Structure 1
């Protein structure tokens, strides 16, 4: 089934990625391609929930650290129609530890996914978008407030990778602006998702949420709302910037 606009979401079957998919699904003529790394059952359940006659939804296994899998993800998008948007949500977070305990292998894993993988997805998207005259072509990268705060004693490597995302966003946005392609990033703060469990601290959002200026942790859907706005025509004059969704943190 060919559609008039396709959106690729990496890490698209859980947390913020799944929330973005729910925000974007069900629009006539819009197709979604959701990259995911390992949980086939969860991917199938989300596709069953969102796939409709209005707009098809496909889930494609994709480790963004593997260039061949990234290429396959975008080829799957090509089968549905022209690419209108990319949401780079895939990311890895390792166990909390002191900086001196971060090994070279861990640095390589984090940067391979959070920076290089994201960059390769941007490259695939820009290659397709720059030859189009669509007015609504946009890339949204998921950063983190850790990029500014540094995450000392927790995961400086993750924070550094997200700072790289912010810089990449700015530079790429300026480079592709003449083609009419917009590039932005969203910087979530303390958001109640399962990523904290991945970092070895499943109760982190509940513990730190009340200390935020707005008095609580955020939700995946609140971040997804910002992403959806940045992809929309309402943000047509917004590029090269990073939007904090942090509850004032």
Structure 2
């Protein structure tokens, strides 16, 4: 089997968990993309290979369209197969009130989370059409897209809202080609993104608040992503799946 899974932002968190678990879910080849954390990506790639799949380690700054284009130029040189995309690369800025969301800050968040993610999806679609083997995409959103993240990350939440809208429109465009496009909306998940947003104690404070009484794990989100990409979800498209513990 020559299926190829492309995971952006695979050096840590949800991306790393999804890449690690891919081999268990029938993916024989995994593109492990990273932006700056080479050590984390190398660790993920080693885990992928320990599970019996082949890993391709690729670096690209997804805020730069030319870098994305160059990365997909390398991917296009691989043996054609069915493609899965986990469109996961994303950033959050430090927690702030709305008044502090300066144009430069918002531009930085959107350059990765929206413009980068749309270009990654576009390049994947071109490759899917060129290879003619079909495939599926999962765009990683956030529960913040419907909660708004007041006093914390309204710009991040807005960027994820844009990703959800893109997911719906793209899914409708490509459904008749046998390409499925879905999203996942993680809730409070144990990842390093809270520390990067200068709120390392966030889960300690509110991790108990979902109806299930605990935060989720990256593996739990990865399971949802891999299901959506699999043929077990063959009649599921244009859907945003909450992985939020009921939140």
Distance in structure 2 (CA, Å) of the matches to 1:158 and 1:26: 32
- Change in CA separation of 1:214 and 1:51 when aligned onto 2, cut-off 3 Å: same
- State the Cα distance separating 1:27 from its structure 2 match: 6.6
The one-character-per-residue Cα deviations of 1:131-161 (angstroms, maximum 9, x if unpaired) are 45535x1000000000000001111000000
Residue of structure 2 equivalent to 1:192: 190
Residue of structure 1 equivalent to 2:95: 96
Distance in structure 2 (CA, Å) of the matches to 1:86 and 1:71: 15
Task: Give the total of aligned pairs.
Answer: 246
| 1:207 has 2:225 as partner | no
TM-score, structure 1 as length reference? 0.94
- Alpha-carbon contact 2:98-2:151 (below 8 Å) kept: yes
Structure 1's unaligned 5+ residue stretches are none
- Alpha-carbon contact 2:25-2:226 (below 8 Å) kept: no
- Alpha-carbon contact 1:88-1:141 (below 8 Å) kept: yes
TM-score, structure 2 as length reference? 0.94
Structure 2's unaligned 5+ residue stretches are none
- Alpha-carbon contact 1:26-1:55 (below 8 Å) kept: no
After superposition, the CA RMSD in angstroms is 1.7
Residue of structure 2 equivalent to 1:9: 7
Q: How does 1:120-139 map to 2 (within 5 A)?
A: 120-134=119-133, 137-139=135-137
Secondary structure of 1:4 counterpart: coil
Q: How does 1:196-235 map to 2 (within 5 A)?
A: 196-235=194-233
Secondary structure of 2:207 counterpart: helix
Secondary structure of 1:157 counterpart: helix
Residue of structure 1 equivalent to 2:179: 181
